Amino acid sequence: MKKIVYGICCLALVLGTAMQTSEARPKYLAEFKEKYPGVEGLDEVKCNVCHEGKDKKNKNGYGIAFGTTLNAKNCKDSEVIQKALVGTEAKPSAVSGKTFGDLLKENKLPGSK
């Protein structure tokens, strides 16, 4: 009996450490697509509108600016998200002399250079 309990505990430990938690924000991407449907390359980059690399903890300049403007964790309110998208437009992008809004009006990804 001890072996069975020990085996179940080991299995639970292995499964628990192997599973990664996901903090996806599909609502943010959906709202972005609704607000800026003509942005080139949006379907290819998906979450990398706000993130860079494979680790989603790494945000690009647009992701940092959006997060600061939104100022909420895992917001699901469409109106609040849309207001944050608009508010982020005025912030300076990595492109010299252009805001994120300037890039979006040109149908370019806001995190692009």
Whether residue 63 contacts residue 47, with contact meaning beta carbons closer than 8 Å, is answered with no
Q: Is the pLDDT reported for residue 1 higher than 80? A: no
Global pTM reads: 0.76
Q: Is the pLDDT reported for residue 104 higher than 70? A: yes
Predicted local distance difference test score (pLDDT) of residue 68: 95
Q: Which residues of 43-61 are buried (b: 16+ CB within 10 A; e: fewer)?
A: eebeebbbbbeeebeebbb
What span, in angstroms and rounded, lies between the C-alpha atoms of 67 and 72? 8
Range with the lowest mean pLDDT among 2-6, 11-15, 53-57, 72-76? Answer: 11-15
Segment 40-77, tens digit of pLDDT:
999 999 999 999 988 888 999 999 999 999 999 889 99
Predicted local distance difference test score (pLDDT) of residue 55: 86
Whether residue 35 contacts residue 83, with contact meaning beta carbons closer than 8 Å, is answered with no
Predicted local distance difference test score (pLDDT) of residue 22: 45
Q: Is the pLDDT reported for residue 91 higher than 80? A: yes
Task: For residue 51, give the DSSP letter.
Answer: B
Residues in Cβ contact with 42 at an 8 Å cutoff, skipping those fewer than 6 apart: 32, 33, 36, 49, 109
